[in-house]
């Protein structure tokens, strides 16, 4: 993650989003606390947990079972192919797994972390080559293509590794969000900092969970991401994921021109700011706005207590996706708070002056990145 | 009796609504009553269409009741292929107006009574076969319309309604003067259309005489042109129209643009071209210039509204000025093709402008503004008005003369029929068609494309009840565009006969 | 059965329309709980049905004379308008090309647009788009063709503006509509004039009428120029070419259609109008001049483009310029051949471009590079498409160009034009290939897995088709009746010509490779004179010229009109009349106090009666 170096001490009020730094140092979250905020965040994370569960299962299924298949027609079926399911699939009555792939591609494309380094290593190349050779040994056509385009299959294997890695990351996130929902149902969550704490605890607990990937070809197992690569949940999937999906993202064709001469898309990927924390929720549901898929998936799992709030709006169900997106963005600021807090050099509420100034410097780096985000809008403030 | 019923039923309905002891503040009973009356008129219209013989160019469904014989005034009704489609259009748009009226209207009984009165008088004007009777209905229609603008209008309704009243009352008086003068020249024996035409042309005239000299005809034509020119409206008599539209409520705008302006063009065709063909022929080159000026003026005025982020409704109103100019061009050429184009344009413009005003009305109702600078991104499917936007695309494309919709047929027929006589004017008018695309694209791009404006991020839902009237108008626009002969069969005999009358003017 | 399929082949374009209509439940959001993909499947299915229907009709018509279907449409006075369809091998072949490319583009879109929730609307537009183009292929009446061209203008507007919240797409859609509309209005003027002069708008009648018309030269010239304007706009020819560049803001699957068959529509109508145009040598001269200017100018502009899609779209203008020249020289068959080969190879290239954009989220050739080893289907599609578009290898365009140049009547300077365009295009494609696929991976191309099958299958299919074009030309030589066939051309074996063609292409490739592929090449290459480079990369500043002339002019006139309206026309009225009489306090109407108004109205009404009564007493003799 690219974080700004420490700055000389400055009064908080002069810093970008200084009021938020102040709040964070007092143990509060990026998102302002309030009863409706809690309902929105927990409710939307409940449905997000369910959707992530489906996404993660499918990503792992694709990585494990469609290894280098040219025509994975039924990749979204998780191996359960039946006429009824196929008809439902044709009727588009299904989870939009395309969004999971979109996040995976985004993460793959932006890179970062040890996973990104590992897939470029000779070790990976050797492992992948072995698996590729096993897979295509009886297919002269593909062998020919492989010889002419030597990186073609390797790149596909790299992508499959990311399929699996994101699947494993989301597996854990889904469980955390479902735990949160259960805790809320038991009355243990009453304010936003509770949400943050629960998520942060979940992240910390899973931090060292290894990320591995291997496929079975012809009855034999081939490691792609071996345990020896020491890839772990927090630093090698969570952090690159937050960077790629929360912060950078990819420009939506529905709002940004790709025209090279217009220069709307920055040259440097570090300067991309199209991620979940930046995106304008208003165009959701329109043309060329990929997160619509996620909101659409979540709409089926909105808990009744949140649905009531949405129903009470001026447009009732008509603008459901926008409302879900607004709530979703709020919840993502809670997740981000948990990540910020978890990665901080010292506990944020520390009153030790040196620790506090280190925290301020650390937070200032974050706030510079968040200054153009939707945090003000999520808090119902003027930007 | 059919035609009398078409006038009488809404008239009686209006009186009944006004007098019956319905609850004053509740809109529903009055609305249902108006709908019931409207349904009966629909049935009567269908019956009239069924009895109408499209092959006959003469007036049909004749009714004659001597009235004030001493004045030559008779209650003489009849319709031909020129007036039948307009009559049907009026009935259709009356229904649309009733449907498009909101539930929370003030003084509902009075409102619906006036609406029915308006419908009755317009029906009467289209069915009148007697000059004076036409004039009476033409005047009668002013009162309800004036009140509908003046009571249920916007902030400056008083100004707009008065301006409308002054202009159109003036128009009526000028027309009356011309009618009286013509009847007077014919010895005040009758105000009936047929004999008067014969008197003017001097052919088989029961009133005697060898026809009216050209100079006299021109003197009579001038007030008719100005009178109906105000009503149509043609530049420079048009300034009441944008004001009236801006202040009028949506259903009233629909009726005003949809049918009431057609009284002007109808009058011009029937009592200008159709009554004074000689003078018409002499004036035709100037009329063509006038038409071209109107077309271009309307278009440029609408563009100005667009580039200065003006009012959407004003833009549509100016577009009406331009589009009505096409009819004058067609009338000036007076060939069978151009006159069919004129008839087609009256119907097409009636449907299209009604659709556009309805849609602008929905935008206004939901967003609370019609200003182009306050609106953007209304295509947004979640929070905007996407279906209204889609219908708006259809409406403006129809208005801009994109083939497949009714507007193209009328414009093509008008241009094709007028080209031979007035090539330059026709080409200039076609530039006007091109300019239509310019301002309507400005409207679409500003109001519907882009990010939803902050002002419009939380609009109320649009229900299918809101959309239904617009869809009901969109369908005939497309159907007539694809199958124009559905309309042309009814009017062909009449427009041909009108063209024949015009040729009398050339011969004479 | 087969006969029935032939008789009903007018339905083929309608399939697309039905498909478009079938998307309505999703595009109008009547269905929101489930996704829009069924709309896409329905549309695709209808297109496939249309393709099969057309294929059967094509087979059954093979070797038979052309047939024509007439639907009487509107009769008014002496104007008899019919919708006439011509069923000939050429028209049905064109129809099949349209349906086939539409299938390709739609399957591609299933992958390319998979994350777009407005998929139903996109496929609906594509259906209408396809119906309009297919209808144009069959149409044998100028009226119908005009109508369909306008429908095409409309659907271009909608497709380019598909991403309606993207500001550049919005202006692009507007400009596309307006520039095409300028051409359309002029065409309408020509058509109206023609309907008066010739009395018919059927192409067959017009072809019969034109040689015997003997119009005054100025009339024939004006008429021809007006008719020429429509195709100029549609084919993105100078000076109405700027829309194609901007239209690249639209989704790529639509760009595939736009750069192949849509631009061809204008040229197709031009070919049909050729007898009328040839009434005036001036018109032919203008067609040739515009075509030449566009061919050279757009080829140069294309080389200066940094945007991947635009670098290719300008070459489309250039090739359509060649088509204009061919039509101007009365070589309709060559024109059709150029259109066919260009459509196939250019759409293959655009498929490859789509693959690149989908993978890298980038259209800037300066930020791309090193893709070849990881994207076999994309690389091959681009390469084969490029090879098929320039005259170098014996693929489609080589034979089309060769076939043109062996024509004995062709003037010598066209060979120079052709060689120049070929050279410049080869240079441009080599440049783009080197920047995008060659070299080392850039940050944005570091992770570039090949696209999934819904995009790869159309690419590979079109790659194969492009490779097979020479065989198809050889086999379907009957397509191009009247003149010497390709094979006969080959038999003539004009070796110097072949060498010249190959050399011009090879020189372009060599120069491009030297500039961009050699070790240590500076990327991007700057021309020595920056002003020239800017002039080319901004397309001769044509959009600015339009803004300062036409747009500013219309705006100024509008403002003047508004001023006159407000201060002269209305001001006068208000000053003299209304304000004076009714502006006073006494007549301020509120909702409750309407009394004065009622009085006024009734007074006016009654005054009418009084007038009558007075007159009748005073004047009437009885």
Residue C66 — very low, low, confident or very high, per pLDDT cuts 50/70/90?
confident
A267 CB near a chain C CB, below 8 Å?
yes
The pair of structure tokens assigned to B88 is 């049907």
What is Dmax (Cα atoms) for chain C?
112
C38 CB near a chain A CB, below 8 Å?
yes
Question: What pLDDT does residue C577 have?
Answer: 55
Of the candidates C230, C218, C225, C227, the one whose C-alpha atom is nearest the C-alpha of residue C195 is C227
C312 neighbors C259 (Cβ within 8 angstroms) = yes
Whether residue A139 has pLDDT greater than 70: yes
Question: What pLDDT does residue C516 have?
Answer: 82
C593 and C464, same domain (yes or no): no
C485 and C544, same domain (yes or no): no
Question: What pLDDT does residue C481 have?
Answer: 40
Best mutation target among B377, B378, B381 (most A Cβ atoms within 10 Å) is B381
Measured from the Cβ of residue C216, the count of other Cβ atoms closer than 10 Å reads: 8
Question: What pLDDT does residue A14 have?
Answer: 74
Whether residue C592 has pLDDT greater than 60: no
pLDDT (mean) for A118-147 = 94
Residue A9 — very low, low, confident or very high, per pLDDT cuts 50/70/90?
low
> Mind listing the pLDDT tens digit for each residue in B181-226?
898 888 878 888 888 888 888 877 777 677 888 899 999 999 999 9
Whether residue B68 has pLDDT greater than 80: no
C467 and C612, same domain (yes or no): no
Residue C585 — very low, low, confident or very high, per pLDDT cuts 50/70/90?
very low
Per the model's pLDDT, the better-predicted residue between C281 and B1 turns out to be C281
C408 and C337, same domain (yes or no): yes
Pairing assessment for the beta strands A213-217 and A220-225 based on DSSP bridges:
antiparallel
In chain A, pLDDT over 90 holds for what percent of residues? 78
| Angstrom distance (rounded) from CA C406 to CA C274 | 21
HEC per residue, C561-622? HHHHHHHHHHHHHHHHHHHHHHCCHHHCCCCCCCHHHHHHHHHHHHHHHHHHHHHHHHHCCC
Residue C5 — very low, low, confident or very high, per pLDDT cuts 50/70/90?
confident
pTM: 0.93
Question: What pLDDT does residue C492 have?
Answer: 59
| Angstrom distance (rounded) from CA A74 to CA B50 | 60
Question: What pLDDT does residue C394 have?
Answer: 84
Question: What pLDDT does residue B168 have?
Answer: 85
Interface ipTM: 0.93
Measured from the Cβ of residue C606, the count of other Cβ atoms closer than 10 Å reads: 10
> Mind listing the pLDDT tens digit for each residue in C102-133?
999 999 999 999 999 999 999 999 999 999 99
B6 neighbors B48 (Cβ within 8 angstroms) = yes
> Mind listing the pLDDT tens digit for each residue in C495-513?
888 899 999 999 999 998 8
The pair of structure tokens assigned to A95 is 């989870």
B16 neighbors B33 (Cβ within 8 angstroms) = yes
Of A280, A314, A321, the CB nearest to B382: A321
C324 and C267, same domain (yes or no): no
Total domain count, chain A:
1
B457 CB near a chain A CB, below 8 Å?
yes
Whether residue B493 has pLDDT greater than 70: yes
> Mind listing the pLDDT tens digit for each residue in B341-398?
999 999 999 999 999 999 999 999 988 889 998 899 999 998 889 999 999 999 999 9
The pair of structure tokens assigned to C465 is 């088709």
Whether residue A132 has pLDDT greater than 50: yes
Whether residue C192 and residue B379 make contact (CB cut-off 8 A), yes or no, is: no
Best mutation target among A95, A99, A287 (most C Cβ atoms within 10 Å) is A287
Q: Which domain holds residue B243?
A: 2-507
pLDDT (mean) for C518-527 = 63
| Angstrom distance (rounded) from CA C340 to CA C453 | 26
Question: What pLDDT does residue C484 have?
Answer: 47
CA of B91 vs chain C CAs: smallest distance (Å): 25
The pair of structure tokens assigned to A200 is 């942060």
**Chains contacting C (3 or more CB pairs within 8 Å):** A, B
> Mind listing the pLDDT tens digit for each residue in B214-229?
899 999 999 999 999 9
Instruction: Name the closest residue on chain C to residue A291, using Cα atoms.
Output: C115
Instruction: Name the closest residue on chain C to residue A152, using Cα atoms.
Output: C374
C333 and C363, same domain (yes or no): yes
C27 and C148, same domain (yes or no): yes
Whether residue A1 has pLDDT greater than 50: no
Whether residue C480 has pLDDT greater than 70: no
Total domain count, chain B:
1
Question: What pLDDT does residue A383 have?
Answer: 65
In a domain, A2, yes or no: no
Whether residue B383 and residue A319 make contact (CB cut-off 8 A), yes or no, is: yes
CA of C154 vs chain A CAs: smallest distance (Å): 19
The values of phi and psi at residue A240, to 5°, are -60, -35
Total domain count, chain C:
4
Whether residue A314 and residue B457 make contact (CB cut-off 8 A), yes or no, is: no
The pair of structure tokens assigned to B277 is 């063909």
> Mind listing the pLDDT tens digit for each residue in C269-279?
999 998 999 88
Enumerate the H helices of B271-422 as residue ranges: 277-307, 312-333, 336-367, 386-399, 406-418
Of B379, B382, B461, the CB nearest to A284: B382
DSSP C307: B
> Mind listing the pLDDT tens digit for each residue in B323-349?
999 999 999 999 999 999 999 999 999
Whether residue C588 has pLDDT greater than 70: no
Whether residue C74 and residue B485 make contact (CB cut-off 8 A), yes or no, is: yes
Whether residue B451 and residue A283 make contact (CB cut-off 8 A), yes or no, is: yes
Segment (H or E) for C497: helix C495-516
Whether residue C449 and residue A99 make contact (CB cut-off 8 A), yes or no, is: no
Question: What pLDDT does residue C111 have?
Answer: 93
Residues of chain C with Cβ-Cβ distance to A151 below 8 Å are: 373-374
Question: What pLDDT does residue A112 have?
Answer: 87
A168 neighbors A231 (Cβ within 8 angstroms) = no
Q: Which domain holds residue C550?
A: 539-583
Whether residue B340 and residue C589 make contact (CB cut-off 8 A), yes or no, is: no
pLDDT (mean) for B443-467 = 87
Question: What pLDDT does residue A133 have?
Answer: 94
Residues of chain C with Cβ-Cβ distance to A90 below 8 Å are: 37-38, 41
Question: What pLDDT does residue C432 have?
Answer: 93
Whether residue C400 has pLDDT greater than 50: yes
Question: What pLDDT does residue B27 have?
Answer: 81
Instruction: Name the closest residue on chain C to residue B188, using Cα atoms.
Output: C620
Residues of chain B with Cβ-Cβ distance to A382 below 8 Å are: none
- For A105-109, B26-30, C571-575, which range has the lowest pLDDT when averaged over its residues? C571-575
Question: What pLDDT does residue C474 have?
Answer: 78
Whether residue B496 has pLDDT greater than 50: yes
Give the three-class secondary structure for B246: helix
**Chains contacting A (3 or more CB pairs within 8 Å):** B, C
Residues of chain C with Cβ-Cβ distance to B303 below 8 Å are: 554-555, 558, 561
| Angstrom distance (rounded) from CA A204 to CA B441 | 56
| Angstrom distance (rounded) from CA A10 to CA B195 | 98
In a domain, A373, yes or no: yes
The mean of the pLDDT values for chain C is 86
C222 and C294, same domain (yes or no): no
Find the Cα–Cα–Cα–Cα dihedral B180, B182, B187, B191, rounded to 10°.
Answer: -70
Residue C249 — very low, low, confident or very high, per pLDDT cuts 50/70/90?
very high
Best mutation target among B445, B446, B486 (most C Cβ atoms within 10 Å) is B445
Query: How many A×C Cβ pairs under 8 Å?
Result: 148
B380 CB near a chain C CB, below 8 Å?
yes
pLDDT (mean) for B275-291 = 93
Q: Which domain holds residue A269?
A: 12-73+84-378
The mean of the pLDDT values for chain B is 90
B134 neighbors B125 (Cβ within 8 angstroms) = yes
| Angstrom distance (rounded) from CA B94 to CA B25 | 22
Instruction: Name the closest residue on chain B to residue A325, using Cα atoms.
Output: B382
Question: What pLDDT does residue B37 have?
Answer: 95
The pair of structure tokens assigned to C471 is 């065989």
C35 and C111, same domain (yes or no): yes
Give the residue from C256, C274, C292 where a domain finishes.
C274
């Amino acid at each position: 993650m690219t974080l700004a170096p420490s700055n000389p001490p400055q009064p908080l009020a002069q810093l970008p989003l200084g009021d938020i730094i102040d709040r964070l140092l007092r143990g509060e979250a990026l998102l302002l606390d309030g009863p409706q905020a809690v309902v929105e965040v927990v409710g939307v994370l409940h449905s997000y947990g369910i959707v992530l569960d489906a996404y993660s299962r499918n990503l792992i299924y694709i990585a494990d079972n469609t290894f280098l298949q040219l025509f994975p027609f039924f990749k979204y079926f998780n191996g359960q192919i039946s006429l009824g399911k196929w008809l439902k699939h044709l009727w588009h009555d299904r989870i939009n797994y395309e969004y999971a792939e979109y996040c995976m591609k985004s993460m793959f494309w932006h890179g970062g972390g040890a996973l990104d380094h590992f897939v470029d290593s000779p070790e990976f190349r050797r492992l992948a080559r072995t698996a590729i050779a096993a897979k295509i040994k009886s297919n002269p056509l593909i062998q020919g293509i492989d010889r002419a385009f030597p990186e073609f299959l390797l790149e596909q294997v790299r992508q499959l590794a990311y399929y699996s890695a994101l699947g494993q990351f989301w597996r854990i996130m889904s469980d955390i969000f479902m735990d949160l929902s259960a805790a809320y149902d038991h009355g243990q969550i009453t304010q936003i900092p509770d949400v943050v704490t629960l998520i942060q605890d979940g992240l910390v607990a899973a931090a060292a969970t290894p990320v591995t990937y291997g496929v079975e070809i012809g009855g034999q197992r081939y490691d792609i991401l071996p345990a020896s690569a020491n890839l772990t949940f927090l630093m090698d999937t969570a952090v690159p994921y937050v960077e790629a999906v929360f912060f950078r993202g990819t420009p939506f064709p529905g709002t940004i021109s790709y025209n090279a001469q217009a220069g709307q898309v920055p040259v440097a990927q570090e300067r991309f700011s199209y991620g979940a924390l930046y995106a304008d929720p208003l165009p959701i549901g329109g043309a060329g706005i990929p997160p619509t898929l996620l909101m659409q998936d979540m709409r089926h799992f909105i808990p009744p207590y949140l649905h009531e709030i949405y129903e009470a709006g001026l447009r009732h169900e008509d603008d459901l996706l926008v409302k879900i997106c607004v709530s979703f963005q709020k919840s993502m600021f809670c997740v981000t708070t948990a990540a910020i807090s978890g990665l901080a050099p010292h506990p944020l509420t520390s009153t030790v002056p040196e620790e506090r100034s280190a925290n301020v410097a650390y937070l200032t780096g974050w706030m510079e990145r968040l200054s153009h985000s939707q945090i003000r809008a999520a808090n119902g403030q003027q930007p | 009796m059919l035609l009398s019923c078409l006038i009488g039923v809404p008239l009686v309905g209006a009186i009944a609504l006004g007098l019956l002891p319905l609850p004053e503040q509740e809109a529903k009973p009055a609305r249902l009553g108006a709908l019931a009356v409207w349904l009966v008129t629909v049935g009567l219209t269908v019956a009239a269409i069924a009895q109408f013989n499209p092959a006959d160019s003469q007036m049909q469904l004749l009714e004659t009741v001597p009235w004030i014989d001493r004045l030559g005034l008779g209650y003489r009704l009849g319709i031909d292929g020129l007036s039948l489609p307009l009559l049907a259009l009026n009935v259709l748009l009356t229904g649309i107006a009733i449907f498009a009226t909101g539930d929370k209207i003030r003084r509902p009984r009075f409102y619906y009574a006036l609406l029915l009165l308006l419908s009755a008088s317009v029906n009467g004007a289209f069915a009148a076969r007697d000059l004076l009777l036409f004039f009476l209905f033409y005047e009668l229609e002013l009162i309800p319309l004036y009140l509908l603008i003046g009571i249920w209008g916007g902030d400056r309704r008083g100004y707009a309604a008065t301006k409308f009243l002054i202009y159109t009352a003036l128009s009526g008086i000028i027309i009356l003067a011309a009618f009286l003068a013509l009847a007077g020249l014919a010895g005040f024996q009758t105000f009936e259309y047929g004999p008067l035409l014969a008197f003017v042309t001097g052919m088989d005239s029961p009133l005697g005489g060898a026809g009216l000299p050209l100079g006299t005809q021109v003197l009579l034509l001038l007030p008719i042109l100005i009178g109906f020119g105000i009503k149509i409206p043609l530049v420079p008599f048009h300034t009441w129209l944008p004001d009236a539209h801006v202040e009028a409520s949506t259903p009233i705008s629909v009726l005003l643009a949809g049918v009431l302006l057609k009284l002007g063009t109808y009058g011009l065709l029937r009592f200008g071209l159709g009554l004074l063909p000689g003078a018409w022929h002499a004036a035709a080159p100037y009329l063509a210039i006038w038409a071209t000026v109107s077309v271009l003026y309307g278009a440029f005025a609408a563009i100005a509204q667009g580039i200065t982020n003006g009012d959407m409704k004003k833009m549509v109103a100016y577009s009406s000025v331009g589009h009505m100019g096409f009819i004058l061009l067609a009338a000036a050429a007076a060939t069978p093709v151009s006159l069919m184009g004129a008839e087609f344009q009256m119907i097409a413009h009636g449907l299209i402008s009604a659709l556009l005003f309805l849609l602008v009305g929905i935008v206004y109702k939901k967003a609370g503004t019609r200003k182009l600078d306050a609106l953007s991104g209304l295509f947004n499917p979640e929070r905007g008005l996407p279906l209204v936007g889609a219908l708006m695309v259809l409406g403006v494309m129809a208005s801009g003369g994109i083939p497949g919709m009714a507007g193209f047929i009328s414009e093509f027929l008008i241009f094709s029929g007028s080209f031979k006589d007035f090539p330059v004017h026709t080409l200039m008018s076609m530039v006007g068609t091109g300019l239509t695309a310019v301002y309507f694209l400005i409207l679409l791009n500003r109001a519907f494309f882009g990010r939803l404006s902050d002002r419009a991020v939380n609009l109320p839902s649009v229900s299918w009840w809101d959309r239904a009237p617009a869809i009901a108008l969109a369908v005939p626009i497309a159907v007539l565009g694809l199958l124009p002969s559905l309309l042309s069969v009814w009017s062909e005999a009449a427009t041909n006969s009108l063209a024949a009358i015009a040729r009398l003017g050339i011969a004479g | 059965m087969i006969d029935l399929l032939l008789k009903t082949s007018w339905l083929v374009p309608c399939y697309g329309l039905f498909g478009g209509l079938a998307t309505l439940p999703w595009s109008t959001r009547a269905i929101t709980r489930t996704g829009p993909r069924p709309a896409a499947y329905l549309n695709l299915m209808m297109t496939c049905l249309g393709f099969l229907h057309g294929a059967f009709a094509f087979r059954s018509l093979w070797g038979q004379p052309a047939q024509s279907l007439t639907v009487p449409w509107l009769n008014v006075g002496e104007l008899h308008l019919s919708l006439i369809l011509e069923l000939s091998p050429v028209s049905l072949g064109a129809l099949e090309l349209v349906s086939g490319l539409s299938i390709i583009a739609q399957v591609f879109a299933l992958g390319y647009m998979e994350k777009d929730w407005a998929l139903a609307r996109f496929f609906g537009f594509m259906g209408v788009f396809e119906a309009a183009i297919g209808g144009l292929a069959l149409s044998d009446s100028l009226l119908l063709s005009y109508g369909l061209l306008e429908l095409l203008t409309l659907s271009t507007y909608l497709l380019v503006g598909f991403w309606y919240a993207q500001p550049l797409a919005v202006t692009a859609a507007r400009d596309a509509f307006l520039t095409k509309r300028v051409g359309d209005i002029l065409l309408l003027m020509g058509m109206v004039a023609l309907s008066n002069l010739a009395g018919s708008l059927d192409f067959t009648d017009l072809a019969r009428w034109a040689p015997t018309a003997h119009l005054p030269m100025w009339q024939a010239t004006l008429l021809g120029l007006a008719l020429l304007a429509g195709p100029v706009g549609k084919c993105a020819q100078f000076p109405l070419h700027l829309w194609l560049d901007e239209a690249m803001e639209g989704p790529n699957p639509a760009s595939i259609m736009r750069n192949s068959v849509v631009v061809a529509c204008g040229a197709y109508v031009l070919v049909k109008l050729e007898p009328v145009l040839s009434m005036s040598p001036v018109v032919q001269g203008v067609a040739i001049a515009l075509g030449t200017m566009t061919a050279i100018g757009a080829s140069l502009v294309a080389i200066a483009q940094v945007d991947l899609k635009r670098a290719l779209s300008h070459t489309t203008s250039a090739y359509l310029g060649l088509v204009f020249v061919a039509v101007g020289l009365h070589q309709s068959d060559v024109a059709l051949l150029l259109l066919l080969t260009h459509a196939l190879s250019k759409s293959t290239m655009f498929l490859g471009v789509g693959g690149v954009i989908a993978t890298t989220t980038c259209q800037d050739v300066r930020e791309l590079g090193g893709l070849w080893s990881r994207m076999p289907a994309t690389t091959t599609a681009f390469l084969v498409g490029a090879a098929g578009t320039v005259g170098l290898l014996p693929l489609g365009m080589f034979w089309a160009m060769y076939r043109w140049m062996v024509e004995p009547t062709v003037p010598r300077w066209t060979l120079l034009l052709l060689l120049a365009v070929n050279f410049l295009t080869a240079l441009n494609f080599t440049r783009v290939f080197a920047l995008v696929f060659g070299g080392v991976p850039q940050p944005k191309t570091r992770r570039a897995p090949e696209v999934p099958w819904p995009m790869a299958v159309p690419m590979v299919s079109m790659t194969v088709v492009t490779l097979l074009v020479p065989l198809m030309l050889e086999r379907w030589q009957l397509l191009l009746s009247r003149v010497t066939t390709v094979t006969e051309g080959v038999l003539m074996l004009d070796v110097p010509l072949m060498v010249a063609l190959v050399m011009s292409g090879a020189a372009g490739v060599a120069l491009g490779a030297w500039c961009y592929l050699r070790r240590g090449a500076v990327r991007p290459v700057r021309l020595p004179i920056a002003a020239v480079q800017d002039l080319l990369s901004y397309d001769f500043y044509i959009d600015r010229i339009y803004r300062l002339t036409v747009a500013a002019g219309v705006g100024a006139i509008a403002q003047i009109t508004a001023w006159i309206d407000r201060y002269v026309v209305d001001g006068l009225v208000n000053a003299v009349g209304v304000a004076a009489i009714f502006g006073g306090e006494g007549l301020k109407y509120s909702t409750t106090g309407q009394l004065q108004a009622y009085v006024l109205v009734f007074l006016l009404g009654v005054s009418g009666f009084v007038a009558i009564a007075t007159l009748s007493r005073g004047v009437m003799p009885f």
